[in-house]
Amino acid sequence: MNIDTTAVHGGYHPGNGEPRQVPIYQSTTWRYESSEEMAKLFDLAAAGYFYTRLANPTNDTVAAKIAEMEGGSAAMLTSSGQAANFFAIFNLASAGDHVVAASTIYGGTYNLFAVTMKRMGIEFTFVEPDCSDEELEAAFRPNTKCVFGETVANPALVVLDIERFANAAHAHGVPLIMDNTFPTPVNCRPIEFGCDIVTHSTTKYMDGHGVSVGGAIVDSGNFDWMAHAEKFPGLTEPDDSYHGVTYAKDFGQGAAYITKATAQLMRDFGSIQSPQNAFYVSLGLESLHLRMARHVENATALAKYLEGHEKVAWVRYPGLESDPYYELAQKYMPNGTCGVISFGVVGGRAKTEEFMGHLKLAQIATHVADARTCCLHPASTTHRQMTDDELAAAGISPDLVRLSCGIESAEDIIADVEQALAAI
Ligand SMILES: *Cc1c(COP(=O)(O)O)cnc(C)c1O
- Residue 354, Cβ neighbours under 10 Å: how many? 14
- Give the Å distance between the CA of 38 and the centre of ligand 1: 36
pLDDT at 265 over 90: yes
pLDDT tens profile 340-368: 999 999 999 999 999 999 999 999 988 89
β-pairing, 363-364 vs 374-376, is: parallel
pLDDT-derived band at 386, boundaries 50, 70, 90: confident
From the CB of residue 419, how many other CB atoms can be counted at a distance below 10 Å?
A: 13
For the Cβ of 204 lying below 6 angstroms from any atom of ligand 1, the answer is: yes
**What local confidence, expressed as pLDDT, does residue 35 receive?**
93
Q: Measured from the CB, is residue 215 less than 6 Å from ligand 1?
A: yes
* Range 277-306 average pLDDT: 98
CB contact at 8 A, 13 and 52: no
From 154, 212, 374, mutation site for ligand 1 pocket: most ligand atoms within 8 A of C-beta? 154
How many CA within 13 A on the CB side of residue 346? 11
The answer to whether the CB of 87 is under 6 A from ligand 1 is no
* Rounded distance from Cα 230 to ligand 1 centre (Å): 32
The residue among 119 and 389 whose pLDDT is bigger is 119
Ligand 1 contact via 151 beta carbon (within 6 Å): no
Output the pLDDT for position 393. 67
What pairs with residue 148 in β-bridges?
101, 177
Query: Is the pTM higher than 0.95?
Result: yes
Between the CA of 137 and the centroid of ligand 1 the distance, in Å, is 28
- HSE at residue 363, side-chain half, CA atoms within 13 A, is 7
How many CB atoms within 10 Å of residue 236?
A: 18
Name residues whose C-beta falls within 8 Å of residue 193's C-beta, 6 or more positions apart in sequence. Answer: 162, 163, 166, 332
One-letter identity of residue 399:
D
pLDDT (mean) for 101-110: 92
* Residue-level pLDDT at 394: 67
By alpha-carbon position, which residue is closest to atom 15 of ligand 1? 154
Q: What is the rounded CA–CA span in Å between residue 307 and residue 320?
A: 9
Q: What CA–CA distances, in Å, run from 403 to 205, 249, 363?
A: 14, 47, 10
Ligand 1 test: best mutation among 178, 201, 277, most atoms within 8 Å of CB? 201
Average pLDDT of the chain to the nearest whole number:
96
**Kind of pairing between the strands at 197-201 and 123-127:** unpaired
The pLDDT assigned to 343 comes to 96
182 Cα nearest atom in ligand 1: 13
In short, whether 203's Cβ falls inside 6 Å of ligand 1 is yes
Domains of the chain, CATH where assigned: 3-283 (3.40.640.10), 289-422 (3.90.1150.10)
The percent of the chain in helix, strand and coil, each rounded to the nearest 5, is 40, 15, 45
d(CA 85, CA 150) in angstroms, rounded, equals 11
Reference 348, options 384, 302, 312; nearest CA is: 312
Helix, strand, or coil here: 91? coil
Average pLDDT for 247-270: 97
CB distance 181 to 154 below 8 Å: yes
